[in-house]
Amino acid sequence: MVSVTKVAVIGLGTMGAGIVEVFAKGEFAVYAVDGTTELAERGRGFVTKSLDRAVSKGKLTEADRHATLDRITFTAELTDLVDADLVIEAVPERMEIKHSIFTALDDIVRPDAILASNTSSLSLTEIAAGTRHPERVVGMHFFNPAPVLKLVEVIRTVLVDESVADTVRELALQLGKKPVVVGDRAGFVANALLIPYLSRAIALYETGKVSRVDLDNAGRVGIGLPMGPLTLCDLVGLDVVHEVCKVMYDATKRPSDASPSLLRQLVLAGRLGRKTGQGFYDYSADAGVDED
């Protein structure tokens, strides 16, 4: 079983930057990688902003903020990862991008290094089967916001070495997370529960019979979830919700699993939620209070 001290995270969007923060706070040395120096610097900005917020709330000392940032090497060079023990891929959900990264990693990292994917929708088995060592490929799926939410899904394929899945599960515990182990299936476990609920909420909103705010209040106040479903879609990213819907529909062919038409339209229009400034709600600075 490989002992993990050096971790690399590839892709520094919302999820990747959050995962970098989790490992750096857990005192691991972290390579934070994105495709260009500009993207790597943008990732540094995300992590720094999140740590600054923790300092301003009195949850992190200034010294710990510095120490956490000092553990992270931001880079645009995959070849820096020669000594990584665990690499977590968190790039956009397109199989061809995943394949090209895992193929490149085959030639860079040690044969005993673990390769993990944070994919929320794609087949882990397909990702693993495209590599030279599918037995070391596993899912390590964090939830948004990664620094806050405790759940980590450890996804096992039929090809994985049991010790690899065990190591990743142990690591999640070490990070203070709650791991659940699941086989490779559409939506794994958490999204198989959550996405039909979000999709149903969007379809209900599309009927015009309920406002955004009332619908969200029904989910938040009535069902007791921390956020209403449309607000949650905006947090997760409408493109991500749409992709998971597609994968679940492909697996079940149940009409109720199909991506709702409004969701498809918003994705086509580039209104992807908080990350683009607009989704079901408007997050732009001059939007004011978005009441209904």
Amino acid at 48: T
Q: Give whichever of 113 and 230 is closer to ligand 3HC, judged by the CB atom.
A: 230
- The catalytic residue among 120, 121, 123, 259 is 120
Q: Give me the least distance between CB of 187 and ligand 3HC, in Å please.
A: 9
Please write down the long-range contacts of 62-69, taking CB distance under 8 Å and 24 or more positions apart: 68/21, 68/24, 68/25, 69/24
CB of 261 to ligand 3HC, least distance (A): 20
Identify the active-site residue in 21, 141, 199, 243: 141
Q: Which residue is nearest to ligand 3HC (CB)?
A: 120
Is 15 or 81 the residue whose CB approaches ligand 3HC more closely? 15
User: What single letter denotes the amino acid at residue 40?
Assistant: A
Nearer to ligand 3HC, 91 or 194 (CB): 194
- The whole-angstrom separation of Cα 113 and Cα 106 is 10
Nearest to 105 by CA among 140, 147, 133: 133
Q: In terms of CB distance, is 18 or 134 closer to ligand 3HC?
A: 18
Query: Residue 182: CB partners within 8 Å, gap ≥ 6?
Result: 153, 154, 155, 156, 188, 189
Alpha-carbon gap, residue 254 to 29, rounded angstroms: 45
Give least dist CB 90 to ligand 3HC, A: 11
120 is catalytic: yes
Locate all alpha helices (DSSP H) within the chain, ordered by sequence. Answer: 14-25, 37-56, 62-70, 95-108, 124-129, 162-174, 190-206, 212-217, 229-236, 238-252, 261-268
Closer residue to ligand 3HC, CB minimum distance, 55 or 82: 55
**Catalytic position from the list 153, 199, 243, 259:** 153
Active site residue 153: yes
Could you list the residues that contact ligand 3HC (CB under 6 A)?
50, 53, 57, 59, 120, 143-145, 147-149, 191, 194, 226-227, 232, 236, 240
Closest CB 123 distance from ligand 3HC, rounded Å: 14
User: CB burial class (10 A; 0-12, 13-18, 19+) of residue 264?
Assistant: middle
CB-wise, 81 or 247, nearer to ligand 3HC?
A: 247
Say whether 89 is catalytic: no
CA atoms within 13 A on the CB side of 226: 7
Beta bridge partners of 72: 30
State yes or no: is 141 an active-site residue: yes
Tokens representing residue 80 in the block: 């820096």
Q: How far is the CB of 274 from ligand 3HC (least distance, A)?
A: 10
Q: How far apart are CA 235 and CA 283, in angstroms?
A: 11
Query: Least Å distance between CB 83 and ligand 3HC?
Result: 29
Residue 7 sits at φ, ψ, to 5 deg, of -120, 145
Catalytic residues: 120, 141, 153, 191
